[in-house]
Homo-oligomer: A and B are copies of this chain.
Amino acid sequence: MIHGAAAKIQAAGGVRTLTFDASAPLRLSSGEILSPLTIAFESYGALNAERSNAVLVCHGLTGDQFVAGPNPITGRPAWWPRIVGPGRPIDTNRLYVVCANVLGGSMGTTGPASLASDGSPYGLRFASINLADMVRAQAMLIEALDIESLFLVVGPGFGGMQALQWASAYPKRVFACATVASGARQTAVAMALSELSRQAIMADPDWRGGSYHTLGTRPLKGLSVARAASQIGNLAELALRDAFSAAAATERFALAAQLDEARPNSAFVDRFDANSYLYLTRAADAFDLGADFGGNLSNAFSHAATRHCLFSFSTDWRYPPEEGRRLARALLAAGADAAFIEIESDKGHDAHLEEDAQFEAALTGFIDAAAAARGLSLQVGVA
């Protein structure tokens, strides 16, 4: 299944990885070279004979490659089971779904916690990376899997930004693109939240200038502030007000404990590398697809044959519907086929993870129509 001699596939502890040796380095936007490069990924469903039914799911900021099945390391369930699986909108009975841990992450893909050539973790010696680098690494994985063109690239939030970067950088290799609660750049508010998260991590004495791995400490307090920032950004304004009112009645200052109890990701500080959080949030903050094209977002998609669907949720202030509309205008101005769909929800950014019949029906409709246009049958081939 793996294409090219430079890549080697391995599986250990429930994590499947593909490693590219020195003959296939990742050339970063900064000009630096990253090698060896390991990409941890999962797949669900089967590739058809034409290799035309592949879907790449790009995970969110604090997500991982286990989009449709349990994470064997953390024991956490699949993060998007309502969307990816048999009979779900991204139907693994007929689609081949790949999800890779992002470059710079800490679930098996090369990142700041990986060992550098001297045998110690990179830490802050890890190169600066941006969204284009992350997508470039994913493209190397997709090529190694011998998939010439993706049927669909899709992702929520930070993952949706990567999907857009895919559509911009590789327009001929993306048949359809769906962004969910995402945008072509972050709002100032989202940047502010992630800047504060970084500050809190770096202010933690156990961060040790980023060398905590080597020095045997863990900046758990800083990370828990980062986690709180992420949770806060995911809530709708009304839910946040309610949380503050409840906190006022019980404890005087902290919301974090309550938020952690109310949500499933309480083991965040145990599973997420603090330096990864710095690198990934910094890359997300720096992403501005329009700025990369002279301030005209349409130019980012000027060779676009890709069909787009953009989903926003009405109470999502981290990736507000306004940004979805801006993106839709730019895509339409570029002559692309683009639909913008705003879903009414009281769940804020988190709505993309919750049960939502309207969202699921619209996503199913977009995918089914694209599948028909692509000539995908309901029958599954063999990889």
| A-to-B contact residues, CB < 8 Å | 124, 128, 187-189, 191-193, 195-200, 202-205, 221-222, 224-225, 228-229, 232-233, 235-237, 240-241, 244-245, 248, 252-256, 278, 282, 285-286, 288, 317
Contact = CB atoms under 8 A, between A and B. Distances in A.
10 contacts: A124-B252, A188-B235, A188-B236, A188-B240, A188-B317, A192-B232, A192-B240, A195-B244, A198-B253, A241-B288
- Which of A124, A199, A236, A240 has the most CB atoms of chain B within a 10 A radius of its CB? A199
A189 B317 contact: yes
Tell me what chain A mostly uses at the interface: helix, strand, loop, or mixed: helix
Contacts of A254: 198-199, 202
B196 A196 contact: yes
A193 B286 CA distance: 20
A240 B203 CA distance: 21
Given A202-B254, A222-B203, A285-B244, A196 B232 contact: yes
B244 A191 contact: yes
Given A189-B192, A199-B256, 8 more contacts: A124-B252, A188-B236, A189-B317, A198-B254, A203-B225, A244-B285, A245-B286, A253-B282
Question: What is the count of identical protomers in the complex?
Answer: 2
Contacts of A224: 199, 203
B248 A228 contact: no
A33 to B, nearest CB: 18
A256 to B, nearest CB: 6
A186 to B, nearest CB: 9
A233 B195 CA distance: 11
A228 B195 contact: yes
A29 to B, nearest CB: 11
B286 A248 contact: yes
A278 B252 CA distance: 9
A191 B240 contact: yes
A237 B196 CA distance: 16
Contacts of A193: 192-193, 196
Contacts of A233: 192
A198 B248 CA distance: 14
A364 to B, nearest CB: 32
A200 B197 CA distance: 9
